[in-house]
Chains A and B, each alone.
Chain A
Amino acid sequence: MDEFLLSAAAFVLLMVALGLLRVARGPGYADRMMAAQLLGTGGIGALLLVGAAVGEAAVVDVALTLALLAAFTSIAFVKFMAHKDRPPTSEDDA
């Protein structure tokens, strides 16, 4: 069971790595903005699987922290990327 969980975690990480290819290549800013979102979700999935594999119950706390902070980082990414060429105005982030 532990081996299966570890392999599943590795698979999820592989999928995140593939997604990062799009982030690196993507011809638009939206693709870059998706980076934090992708990393957050994939990271949480892999983290939960690895935590179950090594038997650490406290990993769920790490995953909760990551969920809260990945949201925060994604918003930071969006906010600063969206205003790349001009100062923010009141119509943004509607």
Chain B
Amino acid sequence: MDRLLDLFSIVAIVAGGFFFMAGSVGLLRFPDAYTRLHALTKADNLGLALVVIGLLPQMDSVLAALKLVLVWLLVLLSSAAVSQLIARAARRRERTP
């Protein structure tokens, strides 16, 4: 059972790492500020979510596991709000050079 949980963790964390990489590669290669922002948020939502899911079996108590999920929810909330603000600021700069 332990080995199965460890295997699950490894698979989930590797998948999370893949999305972090996708986010960074997108950040480097996409042509436009808005598309780059889109790539960045993939790392937040999917990358961190998969890492959190992968770490859940490694935690000692239910409280620690719940706090882990809370971290992810907080990051979701703040990245949603901040991405909006960045996009609007970028748009405004375009309109008024």
Q: Do A and B come from one complex?
A: yes
A residues engaging B (CB < 8 A)?
Answer: 1, 4-5, 8, 11-12, 15-16, 18-19, 21-22, 26, 28-31, 33-34, 37-38, 40-42, 44-45, 48-49, 52, 57, 60-61, 63-64, 67-68, 70-71, 74-75, 78, 81-82, 92-94
Interface residues in B11-61 (C-beta closer than 8 Å to A): 13-14, 16-17, 20-21, 23-25, 27-28, 33-34, 36-37, 40, 43-44, 47-48, 51-52, 55, 58-61
Q: What is the interface of chain A mostly: helix, strand, loop, or mixed?
A: helix
B55–A48 contact, CB under 8 A? yes
A48–B24 contact, CB under 8 A? no
User: Min CB distance, A14 to chain B, in Å?
Assistant: 8
- What separation, in Å, do the CA atoms of A89 and B71 have in the docked complex? 34
Sampled A-B contacts (10; CB under 8 Å): A4-B10, A37-B40, A37-B86, A45-B16, A48-B51, A57-B59, A57-B60, A68-B74, A75-B85, A82-B92
Chain B: how many interface residues by the 8 Å CB criterion?
51
Partner of B20, one of A42, A61, A94: A42
B89–A33 contact, CB under 8 A? yes
A residues less than 8 Å from B47 (CB atoms): 41, 45
> Does residue B1 face the partner (Cβ distance < 8 Å to A)?
no
Of listed A16, A22, A70, A75, residue having the most chain B CB within 10 A: A22
- What separation, in Å, do the CA atoms of A12 and B50 have in the docked complex? 13
Task: Kindly report which residue of chain A lies nearest to residue B89, judged by CB atoms.
Answer: A82
- What separation, in Å, do the CA atoms of A67 and B60 have in the docked complex? 22
A residues less than 8 Å from B28 (CB atoms): 18-19, 21-22
Of listed B33, B52, B59, residue having the most chain A CB within 10 A: B33
